[in-house]
């Protein structure tokens, strides 16, 4: 247990936890503010929150993947692949629990926020495996910024897959895409440890 | 200094971000070609619109560069150098700023080449495009300074999210302040007052300079005059808001193609007139629809806009063509246009359904047998029914329209 606590503290989890709370409070306020705008449709008004908050939460949570003493840790006789897989699973769980109460159920509400959070976290894990944890935010940020203007909530032309962030909550294909990204990201991040040892 | 600048441009963070930034911006503009490909104001406006996506990426790249020296533990070493802090900061800032600007210029040039080949009206509003470039420099400057002052790993992405949220708040606030945002969604039927684009560019540049001057050791107060200039430029932009934009009178003039009926588009979309007129006249052939069929226009004092062609779909795409499917739908609605005290639909659901069925027939001209309102009719009888129905609809004569539908063929 002590080792797990030390591991968590070495990844800056207390600071990430505080940041998560702040982000989720700000997200809840932003959701209410947007719905109160008379020019916006109540069902779609929260779309910016489901995208921006998911990105911010994924960035903060994936920030805990970085270790200041990574090479030193690798010299210890531990199954680091299992530790990394556990870390990815715990990060996903914490992110989901954090965003769960932020938005109410709607076409672009709670479900869409949950889906986007796990999808972007999966993308961050994939990036961390490929480029290292320091740059794990780059691909999620670039993808989100591009898709937000280039994509559309309308289904068609593969959008539930490549623009899963913007899809309405009932889109099963968008949910499947996000889950696939999380599974692939977790596996890549765990395998990355085995590969480097 | 020049050598240091050259090394920074070749070895800094900026060069690694150039390709991703260019790809992200290119994907963004390629997703909405109809908004810029056939219209010079559309081109310049979309450069500003694309900053909604491009701006946060520029900020993140600059913040990452700004925090580099601290992350690498070089702050103490560099502070012992003889060169002033501002000079060192300027060289370091040049890398993300120059490469972001290069990405914008590359994509803007490619867009301009496409626009030039499709548009038939006006000249490129260069000052508006320069205001987008100034906004990029400002975003890079702010990102760099924040990255320098808060050199954490999460600063870059969280600042990018904050910039995105800030631009969204300005947009959704729907007041004059939204015109202060670097990323703006503007409609090319309106043109800004001559002072707007230079003032907007000056505001962004002054804000960028003010941010950089915060890094001048011992002379941070130099930022105050620059910030003052930015505020001076911001006040007229925020206070006038949409009033600084007026309908483009020259661009909104109609150019017409003769035929049955006559079809008229604005000068902005005159290059589309031959193919749009052909589509409209094919849909309305034999219906004796009174002309002209005109494009929706903006500005005060314009007549009733029902039964017009939707201007949003008349811009060229990358192949140079308007959205002819939407034009066909608009023309079909014109075939049976209701005018009930200004409302384009009758207060009777069964007549509304019949109107849709008749408009669908005019658009597609399918072969019999037909269902619904046209059941049991030949194409000639369908054509005759639509003509009579359209006459009743234009006078909002519900009883006559019902009687026509009840009459057997």
Q: Give the one of A34, A134, A137 whose C-beta lies nearest to B172's C-beta.
A: A34
Instruction: Name the residue in chain A with its Cα closest to that of B29.
Output: A150
**pLDDT given at position B301:** 58
Asked if the Cβ–Cβ distance from A39 to B56 is below 8 Å, we say no
Cβ-Cβ contacts under 8 Å, A60 against chain B:
154, 158
Task: List average pLDDT for each run of 10 residues in chain B, which is 409 residues long.
Answer: 84 89 95 91 95 95 91 81 83 94 97 92 93 97 95 90 90 86 89 96 96 86 93 96 90 88 90 92 86 80 65 87 91 84 76 88 84 82 87 85 80
Q: What is the pLDDT of residues B355-409, one digit of tens each?
A: 888 888 888 888 878 787 778 888 888 888 888 888 888 888 888 888 888 877 7
Interchain pair B53, A148: CB under 8 A: yes
Task: Report the pLDDT value the prediction gives residue B298, as an integer from 0 to 100.
Answer: 75
Interface contact B31-A148, CB threshold 8 A: no
Q: Where do we find the tokens 């696939």?
A: A180
Residue B17 phi, psi dihedral angles, 5° rounding: -90, -15
pLDDT at B13: 85
Could you tell me how far CA A118 lies from the centroid of its own chain? 5
Who's near B352: CB < 8 A, 6+ residues apart? B345, B346
Are the C-beta atoms of B100 and B61 separated by less than 8 Å?
A: yes
Contacts of B113 (CB under 8 A, 6+ apart): none
> Interior CA angle at A165 toward A164 and A170, to 5°?
65
pTM of the model: 0.89
Task: Report pLDDT for B306.
Answer: 56
The answer to whether A150 touches B31, Cβ cutoff 8 Å, is yes
Q: pLDDT tens for residues A9-45?
A: 888 888 899 999 999 999 999 999 999 888 888 888 8
Count the residues in chain B: 409
What's residue A42's pLDDT?
82
A36 touches chain B (CB under 8 A): no
Share of chain A above pLDDT 90, in %: 57
Q: Is the ipTM of this complex over 0.85?
A: yes
Query: What are the E-state strand segments in B141-279?
Result: 190-192, 245-247, 254-257, 263-266
The verdict on a CB contact (< 8 Å) between B57 and A142 is: yes
A&B contacts, CB < 8 Å: 72
- CB contacts under 8 A, A 88-147 vs B, are 134, 137-138, 140-142, 145-146
Sign of the Cα torsion B285, B291, B295, B296 reads negative
A55 touching B (Cβ < 8 Å): yes
pLDDT confidence of residue B174: 76
Structure tokens at A121: 């976290």
pLDDT at B102: 97
Examine the pLDDT at A197 and tell me if it is beyond 60: no
Can you list the pairs that B288-292 forms with residues at least 24 positions away whose Cβ atoms lie under 8 Å?
A: B288/B260, B288/B387, B289/B261, B289/B334, B289/B335, B289/B390, B290/B261, B291/B260, B291/B261, B291/B262, B291/B263, B292/B256, B292/B261, B292/B262, B292/B263, B292/B264
Token match 């081109």: residue?
A: B43
């Amino acid at each position: 247990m002590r080792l797990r606590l030390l591991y968590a503290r070495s990844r800056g989890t207390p600071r990430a936890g505080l940041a998560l709370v702040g982000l989720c409070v700000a997200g809840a306020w932003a959701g209410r503010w947007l719905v109160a705008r008379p020019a916006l449709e109540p069902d779609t008004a929260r779309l910016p929150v489901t995208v921006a908050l998911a990105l911010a939460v994924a960035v903060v949570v994936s920030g805990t993947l970085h270790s200041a003493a990574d090479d030193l840790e690798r010299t210890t006789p531990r199954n680091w692949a299992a530790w990394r897989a556990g870390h990815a699973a715990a990060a996903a769980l914490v992110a989901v629990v954090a965003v769960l109460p932020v938005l109410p159920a709607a076409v672009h509400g709670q479900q869409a926020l949950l889906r986007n959070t796990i999808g972007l976290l999966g993308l961050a894990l994939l990036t961390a495996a490929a480029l290292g944890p320091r740059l794990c935010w780059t691909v999620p940020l670039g993808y989100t910024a591009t898709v937000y203007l280039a994509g559309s909530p309308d289904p068609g032309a593969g959008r539930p897959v490549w623009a899963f962030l913007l899809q309405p909550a009932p889109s099963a294909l968008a949910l499947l895409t996000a889950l696939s990204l999380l599974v692939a990201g977790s596996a890549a991040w765990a395998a990355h440890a085995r590969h480097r040892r | 200094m020049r050598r240091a600048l050259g090394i920074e441009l070749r070895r800094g963070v900026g060069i690694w971000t150039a390709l991703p930034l260019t790809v992200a911006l290119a994907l963004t503009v390629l997703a909405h070609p109809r908004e810029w490909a056939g219209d010079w104001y559309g081109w310049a406006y979309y450069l500003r619109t694309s900053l909604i996506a491009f701006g946060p990426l520029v900020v993140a790249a600059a913040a990452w560069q700004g925090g580099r020296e601290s992350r690498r533990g070089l702050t103490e070493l560099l502070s012992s150098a003889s060169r002033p802090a501002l000079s060192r900061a300027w060289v370091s800032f040049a890398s993300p700023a120059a490469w972001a600007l290069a990405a914008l210029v590359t994509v803007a040039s490619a867009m301009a080449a496409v626009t030039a080949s499709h548009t038939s009206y006006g000249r490129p509003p260069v000052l508006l495009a320069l205001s987008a470039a100034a906004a990029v420099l400002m975003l890079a400057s702010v990102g760099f300074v924040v990255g320098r002052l808060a050199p954490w790993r999460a600063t870059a992405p969280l600042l990018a999210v904050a910039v995105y949220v800030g631009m969204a708040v300005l947009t959704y606030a729907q007041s004059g302040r939204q015109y202060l945002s670097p990323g703006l969604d503007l409609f090319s039927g309106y043109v800004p007052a001559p002072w707007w684009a230079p003032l907007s560019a000056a505001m962004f540049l002054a804000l960028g300079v003010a941010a950089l001057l915060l890094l001048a050791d011992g002379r941070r107060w130099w930022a105050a005059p620059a910030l003052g200039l930015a505020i001076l430029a911001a006040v007229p932009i925020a206070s006038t808001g949409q009033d600084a934009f007026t309908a483009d009178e020259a661009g909104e003039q109609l150019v017409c193609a003769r035929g049955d009926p006559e079809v008229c588009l604005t000068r902005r979309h005159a290059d589309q007139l031959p193919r749009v007129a052909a589509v409209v006249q094919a849909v309305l052939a034999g219906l004796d629809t009174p002309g002209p069929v005109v494009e929706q226009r903006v500005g005060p004092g314009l007549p009733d806009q029902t039964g017009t062609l939707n201007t949003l779909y008349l811009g060229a795409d990358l192949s140079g063509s308007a959205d002819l499917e939407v034009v066909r739908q608009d023309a079909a609605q014109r075939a049976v246009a209701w005018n009930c005290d200004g409302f384009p639909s009758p207060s009777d659901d069964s007549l509304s359904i019949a109107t849709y069925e008749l408009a669908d027939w005019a658009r597609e001209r399918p072969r019999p047998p037909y269902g619904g309102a046209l059941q049991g009719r030949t194409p000639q009888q369908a054509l005759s029914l639509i003509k009579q129905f359209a006459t009743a609809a234009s006078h909002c004569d519900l009883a006559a329209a019902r009687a026509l539908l009840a009459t057997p063929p």
